[in-house]
């Protein structure tokens, strides 16, 4: 079976298939199609879809819904992420399972509302106070929009953390024909299983030891006396300044992601024996890279390629493996070189070059071939 569809619709279908039953958002190009479709589809599936009065209200509603037991999602673009930032911090501190779709466009500020970009890569990681880790996935095809949406919901529940789905204007608004099989979930997704929802033991919605473990998610409203706060708190959500408790809390917020970073790595590794050049990309740019790889190999040139689906935490094991046989690395992205910084940190002996475009156009296969 084949479908004629786009990334927005694939995300909506992935969300519904994941049991998403609450969505709140505010219209913003190019994320509005997700809002419009879910306003139509969620009530038919027994869920709730809300067009909020602004972005701040939208993510606030999602946090409340998630803590009441809903599987919640919101969608916006770069300017909306700016407004989300305070509540993203609240979701990190409160350990709220939440999926945030960022359909990237050219920035900064209003920038190019109908123009493609990949400029929010560092923003979603560092755009809130504290610097505590999040999870960010980046689909590079319509099929991956569906699969990684499903993966995002599973990870949000498993780690009780905001999970970002970083897409872009072209991927979300361009219709294409795909095989139904392209919407299969990544193999790694099966390892985490279904979300666990059960009452918190003895009225404690949090647990900080062992630091890398995440306690089951209690549904607020089902368990009397549970509290929620954005301030530093103990296991019962009482505000505290006790140094030992504060240390355990903050170490836990880091360890529950960092200790599992290898299991979180998703990437498509296409290494050519003897190749000295490695291309790295993600999102819509990876589509052109795949075409360029086929053209280069057809011409007898040895090229390796790495498509990243996990951006945060940085898939260090996968990157080190791919970098091993390369002498020259080209990192292609529609920004000034944001993810190249992460590759450079890991590349000890390789020359790392950026292939960048910030004029609103896409990087094409010919530009990859020129860079090689």
169 plus 282 within the same structural domain: no
39 plus 181 within the same structural domain: yes
pTM of the prediction?
Answer: 0.94
By the 8 A CB rule, do 195 and 157 touch?
yes
Do β-strands 98-106 and 176-179 pair in parallel, antiparallel, or remain unpaired? unpaired
| Last residue of one domain, picked from the residues 159, 191, 223 | 191
Residue 60 in any domain: the answer is: yes
Contacts (Cβ under 8 Å, ≥6 apart) of 12? 34, 37, 38, 41
Distances from the Cα of 178 to the Cαs of 1, 82, 131, 371, in angstroms?
Answer: 9, 33, 38, 29
- Residue 124 belongs to domain with CATH number: 3.40.50.970
* pLDDT attached to residue 185: 62
Residue 89 in any domain: the answer is: yes
Distances from the Cα of 207 to the Cαs of 91, 210, 267, 341, in angstroms?
Answer: 16, 8, 31, 34
Handedness of CA 264, 269, 274, 277 (dihedral sign): negative
Count up the domains in the chain and report the number.
2
* pLDDT attached to residue 2: 83
| Last residue of one domain, picked from the residues 157, 191, 225 | 191
55 plus 174 within the same structural domain: yes
| Structural domain of 142 | 2-191
149 plus 61 within the same structural domain: yes
161 plus 24 within the same structural domain: yes
Residue 198 in any domain: the answer is: no
DSSP H/E element including 245:
helix 243-258
Distance of alpha carbon 95 from alpha carbon 109, whole angstroms: 29
- Residue 331 belongs to domain with CATH number: 3.40.50.920
What is the length of the chain?
Answer: 372
Structure tokens at 232: 């530093």
285 plus 169 within the same structural domain: no
| Last residue of one domain, picked from the residues 169, 191, 213 | 191
166 plus 310 within the same structural domain: no
Contacts (Cβ under 8 Å, ≥6 apart) of 210? none
Do β-strands 303-308 and 277-282 pair in parallel, antiparallel, or remain unpaired? parallel
Q: Which residue has the tokens 């949000």?
A: 156
55 plus 187 within the same structural domain: yes
Burial of 224-254, coded b for 16+ CB within 10 Å and e otherwise, reads: eebebeeeebbbebeebeeeebeebbbebbe
Structure tokens at 339: 């993810």
Q: What is the pLDDT along the chain (372 residues), one digit of tens a residue?
A: 788 999 999 999 999 999 999 999 999 999 999 999 999 999 999 999 999 999 999 999 999 999 999 999 999 999 999 999 999 999 999 999 999 999 999 999 999 999 999 999 999 999 999 999 999 999 999 999 999 999 999 999 999 999 999 999 999 999 998 887 777 765 544 434 444 445 455 568 899 999 999 988 877 766 677 889 999 999 999 999 999 999 999 999 999 999 999 999 999 999 999 999 999 999 999 999 999 999 999 999 999 999 999 999 999 999 999 999 899 999 999 999 999 999 999 998 999 999 999 999 999 999 999 987
* DSSP sequence for 283-298: TTHHHHHHHHHHHHHH
Distance of alpha carbon 359 from alpha carbon 45, whole angstroms: 41
* pLDDT attached to residue 190: 40
Number of Cβ within a 10 Å radius of residue 266: 22
SS3 75: strand
Distance of alpha carbon 304 from alpha carbon 175, whole angstroms: 29
Number of Cβ within a 10 Å radius of residue 188: 16
CB burial of residue 120 (10 Å; 0-12, 13-18, 19+)? buried
Residue 132 in any domain: the answer is: yes
Distance of alpha carbon 310 from alpha carbon 313, whole angstroms: 7
52 plus 167 within the same structural domain: yes
């Amino acid at each position: 079976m084949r479908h004629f569809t786009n990334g927005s619709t694939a995300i909506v279908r992935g969300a519904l298939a994941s049991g998403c039953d609450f969505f709140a958002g505010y219209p913003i190009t190019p994320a509005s199609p997700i809002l419009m479709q879910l306003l139509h589809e969620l009530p038919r599936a027994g869920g709730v879809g809300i067009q909020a009065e602004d972005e701040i209200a939208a993510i606030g509603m999602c946090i409340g819904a998630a803590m009441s037991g809903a599987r919640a999602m919101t969608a916006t673009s770069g300017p909306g992420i700016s407004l989300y930032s305070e509540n993203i911090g609240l979701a990190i501190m409160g350990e709220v399972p939440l999926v945030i779709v960022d359909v990237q466009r050219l920035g900064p500020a209003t920038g190019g509302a109908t123009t493609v970009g990949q400029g929010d890569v560092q923003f979603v990681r560092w755009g809130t106070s504290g610097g505590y880790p999040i999870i960010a996935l980046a689909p590079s095809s319509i099929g991956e929009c569906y699969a990684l949406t499903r993966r995002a919901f599973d990870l949000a529940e498993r780690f009780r953390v905001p999970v970002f789905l970083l897409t872009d204007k072209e991927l979300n608004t361009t219709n294409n024909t795909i095989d139904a099989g392209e919407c299969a979930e990544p193999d790694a997704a099966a390892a985490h299983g279904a979300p666990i929802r059960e009452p918190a033991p003895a009225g404690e919605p949090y647990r900080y030891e062992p630091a890398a473990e995440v306690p089951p998610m209690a549904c607020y409203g089902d368990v009397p006396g549970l509290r929620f706060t954005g301030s530093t708190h103990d296991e019962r959500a009482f505000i505290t300044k006790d140094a030992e408790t504060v240390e355990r809390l903050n170490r836990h917020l880091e360890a529950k992601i960092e200790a599992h970073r290898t299991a979180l790595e998703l990437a498509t590794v296409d290494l050519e024996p003897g190749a000295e050049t490695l291309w790295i990309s993600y999102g819509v740019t990876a589509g052109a890279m795949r075409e360029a790889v086929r053209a280069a190999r057809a011409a007898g040139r040895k090229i390796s390629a790495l498509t990243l689906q996990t951006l945060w935490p940085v898939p260090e094991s996968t990157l080190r493996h791919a970098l091993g046989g390369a002498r020259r690395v080209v990192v292609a992205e529609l920004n000034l070189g944001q993810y190249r910084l992460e590759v450079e940190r890991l590349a000890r002996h390789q020359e790392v070059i950026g292939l960048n475009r910030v004029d609103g156009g896409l990087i094409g296969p010919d530009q990859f071939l020129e860079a090689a």
